[in-house]
């Protein structure tokens, strides 16, 4: 069994790419391989023309991982100085602390920092080498909503400055809101690598809900919907023509309290992979988390 097979992709400079895949798809394995933490059993990996180890040593690629990589007994500022000393041309420490929003905890021991603060520290450490490629694995775990928003504002600024960002997260809304491109891994292979808009178009159907008599709902022209479910006093449609369906319901029936929900990124993922929601959210002990 291969964790990954013939995975090849190109990413333009300054692009933010979301990495998606169900449990066991190979996301964690791919991240480890790109960083040189795991050696492939066959084939080779090149990052900007270099081996992963060379790319990390050169400072071309850096990472914000979900855990590890910190010295708990060391103070935040001291840890930044220690890591900066390992780089030939490190970025200014005060600058990375400002960007990461950790100036106020510079004198605090790492072990006393919250999970969100430790993630921001990992981000600051990743910036020290002035990387061209930034790899993020569950980067906002432990952050509150405000910190998460500020983090992604920084990611957009980094991308605008030319940094290429590849990230894996179980917060699908982050992929929808911040990734310009999406890579889907399925059973160790790249299922698709496309623009986010094109990815979402795979799940064209929207959900239209309306309060209306079931007998009136059944008069709806079938070309306006792909499926219909009626309950007492209400009806739910799946449709690729939500505007046309809504107009018909409002002008030809007594429908009211009408709502339209567009297809979500989860809908698109299920459409691309052919999976069910139960399969998507099933726990996997090998990775320890769902999509």
Residue with tokens 């950790």: 102
Task: Looking at the structure, tell me whether residues 35 and 121 fall in a common domain.
Answer: yes
Task: Looking at the structure, tell me whether residues 253 and 167 fall in a common domain.
Answer: no
Domain of residue 152, CATH code: 3.40.50.300
Predicted local confidence at residue 288, as pLDDT? 44
Task: Looking at the structure, tell me whether residues 100 and 149 fall in a common domain.
Answer: yes
pTM: predicted TM-score of the whole model, two decimal places: 0.75
Task: Count how many domains the chain has.
Answer: 2
Predicted local confidence at residue 250, as pLDDT? 94
Task: Looking at the structure, tell me whether residues 233 and 180 fall in a common domain.
Answer: no
Which range of residues forms the domain containing residue 235?
205-262
Task: Looking at the structure, tell me whether residues 86 and 219 fall in a common domain.
Answer: no
Mean pLDDT of each 10-residue bin along the chain, 291 residues long: 72 93 81 89 85 91 86 96 93 95 95 92 95 92 86 93 92 90 88 88 81 90 91 88 92 93 82 70 51 53
Residue 6 lies in a domain: no
């Amino acid at each position: 069994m291969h964790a990954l097979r013939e995975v090849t992709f190109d990413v333009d400079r300054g692009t933010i790419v979301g990495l998606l895949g169900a449990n066991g798809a190979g996301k964690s394995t791919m991240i480890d391989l790109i960083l040189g933490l795991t050696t492939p059993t066959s084939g080779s990996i090149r990052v900007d023309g270099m081996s992963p180890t060379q790319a990390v040593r050169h400072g071309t690629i850096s990472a914000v991982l979900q855990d590890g990589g910190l010295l708990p007994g060391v103070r935040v500022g001291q840890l930044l100085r220690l890591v900066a000393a390992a780089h030939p041309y490190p970025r200014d420490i005060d600058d990375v602390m400002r960007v990461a929003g950790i100036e106020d905890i510079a004198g605090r021991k790492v072990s006393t920092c919250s999970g969100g603060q430790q993630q921001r520290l990992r981000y600051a450490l990743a910036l020290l080498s002035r990387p061209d490629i930034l790899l993020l694995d569950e980067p906002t775990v432990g952050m509150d909503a405000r910190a998460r928003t500020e983090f992604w504002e920084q990611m957009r600024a980094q991308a605008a400055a030319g940094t290429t960002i590849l990230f894996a997260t179980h917060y699908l809304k982050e992929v929808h809101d911040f990734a310009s491109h999406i890579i889907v891994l399925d059973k160790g292979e790249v299922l698709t690598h496309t623009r986010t808009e094109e990815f979402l178009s795979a799940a064209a159907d929207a959900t239209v809900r309306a309060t209306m008599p079931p007998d009136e709902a059944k008069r709806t022209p079938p070309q306006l919907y792909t499926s219909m479910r009626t309950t007492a006093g209400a009806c739910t449609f799946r449709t690729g023509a939500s505007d046309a369906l809504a107009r018909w319901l409002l002008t030809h029936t007594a429908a009211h309290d009408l709502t339209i929900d567009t297809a979500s990124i989860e809908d698109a993922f299920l459409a691309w992979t052919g999976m069910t929601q139960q399969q998507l959210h099933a726990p996997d002990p090998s990775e320890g988390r769902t999509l």
